[in-house]
Structure 1
Amino acid sequence: MKLANYLSASWQTGAGEGQTLFDPVTGEALVSVSADGLDLGAALDFARQTGGPALRALSYAERGALLGKIAELLQSKRADYLDISLRNLGASESDASADVDGAIFTLKSYARAARALGDARHLKDGAPVPLAKTDIFQGQHFLLPQTGVAIFINAFNFPAWGLWEKAAPAFLSGMPVLVKPATPTAWLTQRMVEDVVNAGLLPDGALSIVCGGARDLLDHVAETDVLSFTGSADTARRMRTHPSVVAASIRVNIEADSVNSAILGPDAAPGSAEFDLMVKEVVREMTVKAGQKCTAIRRILAPAATVRALGDAIAAKLSKISVGNPRSEGVRMGPLVSKAQQAAAFAGIAALKEECDVIFGGDPAAFTPVDADPAVAAFVPPTLLYCAAGLAAKKVHDTEVFGPVATLIPYTDTMDAIAIARRGKGSLVASVYSADSAFLGELVPAIGDLHGRILVVNGSIGNQHTGHGNVMPTCLHGGPGRAGGGEELGGLRALLMYHRRFVVQGDPALLAQLSVNAADAALLTA
């Protein structure tokens, strides 16, 4: 079966045989995708001219109600989505739930948040600014929804959440969406779009999908569009410098490579609550979705006196993780999504071994997955490494192995821990496990400018925290530097990506008239 693309309010099949998607456990061919021969420029024009005006004719609250209806629809078809996740991603029910339920939760969050903006159709930004000796001439800043298309080129690891965490604020802002999901796992994204289209929940042109290669998509971007990409830094650089993107100066949001850190405080001795909480979180981050999360822990920093005990504790828990076919009882970790990703992970492990020792795993030949043939499946065993070189090392700070792989690194003092964390050159998240206020007071401000999010866990928080790798719709997701420099989510803050600020200068009566249907932009950051 070849998946259809939905463009210009019609289902269209790409030419040729297309690219086949496989079950990463059994190697079974599932569906194929192709975008060959499709007119992507016409699809973008249709979305701008038809979908955008229809969305912007609605108020923020009305668009929020649409998000709520989409969430209800997806919830009703949850079982179908979990089945596709199992077959196309090799995801266990819990891993698929993180993707599918995360998407539904995000949609519901934005549906609720939209109520604060009410019947408004644009935003007023701040108070009037006096521009003359009297009040007769003033300036008023506004935020208007952009009149182009929100173009999403997404990653393979979250085909459900990756769509809706971006689409929710775009739709709420009044921008139509065209999504190009990553080819290896496009099936789930395509099915969700198909279900929403068939239910008639959105105006024509509001939601489009192209599966397979992006082809000449970026050749057709216009000044009012927004481009959001999740994937490798190399691909991100090519997108940022694409001639059409540069010429149109369109807004670009990137989420790219991230060598995230987990940091154990000097007070967190073996047996302490903070020590045990970090062990639990590292193991979870290494094994949930087989480590295929952009927010997963890649570097584990610990005091030199504690690092070996920490490694032993993590390895002991990893030894109890059953890896194999997620259809089999007792299996806790499944495969990577493809043989190509498996090969990339093995190459990354080999590179890390040049400056690291293996504490646990690391040898594919000594690993046998449960109820699966290693020759056709895409498994990578959980692998824990140790790098004694610390800041002097290179590959451990520069290489993101997108799988169940993490490296322990000792630090000597707080300044050393800060330097090592910063050596990641920009990360989505760091987590710190400590109850030492002096250590935290020095560390957190010193790494904050190179991290999008910092999770601080102590014994009083316990297991109530949302997790190192969990992205919450009400908090910022993104990171500077190597991580792409982009920002997503953060509650209503995400709407700023899809609005443009401008100022009107004139008499107070005019400014008051233009403010009638405007909500206060301060609500976006309240």
Structure 2
Amino acid sequence: MRTFDGIYVAGTWRPGRGERIEVTSPATGEVLGYVSEATADEVGQAVDSARSALHDDWATYSPADRAAALGRLADAFETRKNDFAELFSAEVGTPRRASSFVHVMSTLGALRAYEKIGADYPFDEVRPSMVGGEVRVRGLPVGVVGAILPWNAPLFTACLKLAPALAAGCTMVLKPAPDAPLAVSLFTEVIEQADLPPGVVNIVSGHAATGEALVTHPGVDKISFTGSTAVGARIGALCAADIRRCSLELGGKSAAILLDDVVLDDKTIGGLVGGVMGNNGQICVSRSRILAPRSRYDEVVAAVGAAVGELVVGDPSDRTTDVGPLINAAARDRVERYVAQAVDEGARVIVGGARPDGFDTGWYVAPTVLANVDNSMAIARDELFGPVVVVIPYEDDVDAVALANDSEYGLAGGIWSSDTARANRIAAQLRVGAVSINSAPALDCGAPFGGFKKSGLGREGGPEGLSEYLEFQSIIS
């Protein structure tokens, strides 16, 4: 049981006045811990704390000092990696055999990446002026950042925002999702172990009202949000009303294109299945649409169906489990509605399609493969966030690209082929932010990540991610 009552402000937990939020296991329903709902006034206290730190201690840190602080954060986090892996498995439902990679190593990777990027970034450079003389270009911290986090990868997404923001010289107020706030709250112990100045990182928990108080607070200079497109649109509108900067990493409905020369070996099938079923299907970059050449359609459906049918559904704490529960009852019910609608529209269930037997508690959905799916069906167009993959036939490369791009989203994609040059040519035609070739979805923290179209605004990762937390000033002489 972990309890984090109140708000984390200026380096300490302060008692809160808001109601307690009960955090339960998605596998068993047991209570894992509690956090407190932050009031608007308490959000203001956190913002004031971040503002004071921005102008006091943190302002004295050079880029090298800030990079070193990120290194200390990474070192401190690494000493607690097993504690966090267990907690992620408990509160998110990620199978324990995968939580160390999905959550812990990705978080560590973000911190380590910005330790290096922050030390090397050109915050102050002189360029030749186009009108004679010189131009000094300075990258200045945008200021106080409010970060609103998702529940599916709470600490990784936190550090994908926190690390570049701190490297840029900003301070931050984090708001974790109410379904999974415990790991983010526990991270305060890492912050203290790394000896960050008080107030550089502050935490307020809560539901939508807490998030809206943070988004609309006049002391916040930028909002960084990861979550659904609908909520992102609301946040974007609120920020636009005050001309407040924002970055939005939103939904996806990504496609994995199997070219007609693909070899359906264990590596390929394992990558395809992992690209959908990882974290119980609750990943924004899920390649939940498999596009297969019509000439090999039945072969692909059979191979993917056989592999998914062998996945072990179970308690996420059991290291033999491949797929655990969804985060809550609403998530499970939503996935079931979409599958039922697809079947009514003519889709064929190859495997799964119902709740697995033997689970009287927890929010489980059997890993599901659907064939005979048309790209116009809701299940092929809407983000499900569950262990469901649809297999859609295509005629030729032109048709495959058109189907992949026929989506309101543009977050990610994948190409599988024996000819990597051909795969690269196809990848370059996709209107998405990241494409993997012959591999399961991956995010390189040294490269930009983000979406086209309704998948969001801005980029995370790489120097481009750091630039999102800077204002640029030109001094011409």
Coarse TM-score class (shorter-chain normalised): over 0.9
* TM-score, normalisation: structure 2: 0.92
In the other structure, the counterpart of 1:55 is: 58
User: In the alignment, is the contact (CA less than 8 A) between 2:96 and 2:318 conserved in 1?
Assistant: no
Aligned to 1:238: 234
Q: Is this contact kept in 2: 1:91–1:326, CA < 8 A?
A: yes
2:173 is the counterpart of 1:178: yes
**1:426 pairs with 2:396:** no
Deviation (angstroms), 1:70: 0.6
1:313 aligns with 303
> How far did residue 141 of structure 1 move?
4.5
Q: 1:257 aligns with which of 240, 251, 255?
A: 251
Tell me the distance in 2 between the aligned counterparts of 1:103 and 1:52: 28
Structure 1-normalised TM-score? 0.84
Aligned counterpart, 1:464: none
Deviations 1:25-51 (A, max 9, x none): 111012222234343223213312323
Task: Tell me how far 1:311 sits from its aligned partner.
Answer: 0.9
Contact 1:429 1:468 in 2 (8 A): no
> Which residue in 1 is equivalent to 2:351?
360
Q: CA deviation at 1:436?
A: 4.0
Q: Deviations over 1:433-452 (max 9, x none)?
A: 113468546523321xx200
- Quick one: structure 1 residues 200 and 267, their matched pair in 2 at CA, closer, same or farther if it must change by over 3 Å? closer
Aligned residue-pair number:
469
Select which of 20, 26, 40 maps to 1:18: 20
Take 1:129 and 1:236, find their aligned partners in 2: how far apart are those partners?
39
Q: Does 1:205 align with 2:199?
A: yes
Other structure's SS at 1:163 match: helix
Q: Match of 2:458, SS?
A: coil
Distance 1:3 1:424 in 2: 42
- SS of equivalent residue, structure 1 residue 314: helix
- Residues 52 and 157 (structure 1 numbering): CA distance in 2 closer, same or farther, change over 3 Å? farther
Going from structure 1 to structure 2, the CA distance change for 1:93 and 1:363 (only over 3 Å counts) comes to closer
2:221 equivalent in structure 1: 225
* Of 386, 392, 395, the match for 1:409: 392
Does structure 2 conserve the Cα–Cα contact (< 8 Å) formed by 1:361 and 1:381?
yes
Match of 2:475 among 488, 492, 504: 504
Aligned amino acid, residue 166 of structure 2: F
SS of the counterpart of 2:180?
Answer: helix
Provide the rounded CA distance (Å) in 2 between the counterparts of 1:4 and 1:101.
29
The residue number in structure 1 matching 2:108 is 104
Larger Rg, first or second structure (1 or 2):
1
1:381 and 2:366 are equivalent in the alignment: yes
Q: Is the CA contact 2:255–2:414 (under 8 Å) kept in the aligned structure 1? A: yes
Contact kept? 2:54, 2:143, Cα under 8 Å = no
CA shift in 2, pair 1:9/1:440, >3 Å: closer
Please say if residues 430 and 468 of structure 1, whose CA atoms lie closer than 8 Å, have aligned partners that are also in contact. Answer: no
Match of 1:305, SS? helix
Residue 152, structure 1, aligned to residue 152, structure 2: no
> How far apart, CA to CA, are the structure 1 residues paired with 2:420 and 2:319?
44
> Residues 456-511 of structure 1, C-alpha deviation per residue, up to 9 Å, x if partnerless?
22xxxxxxxxx43221211221111121133110x2222110111222223xxxxx
Cα distance in 1 for residues equivalent to 2:166 and 2:348: 48
Shift of 1:95: 2.6
Alpha-carbon distance between aligned partners in 1 of 2:425 and 2:18, rounded to the nearest angstrom: 59
Contact 1:264 1:278 in 2 (8 A): no
Unaligned runs of 5+ in 2: none
Letter of the 1:78 counterpart: K
Matched position secondary structure for 2:288: strand
Name the CA distance, whole Å, in 2 between partners of 1:34 and 1:142.
43
8 Å CA contact 1:293–1:469 kept in 2: the answer is no
Whether the aligned pair in 1 keeps the contact of 2:118 and 2:164 (CA below 8 Å) is: no
Give deviations 1:212-251, integer Å, cap 9, x for gaps. Answer: 12252222145x7121111111101111111xx2243222
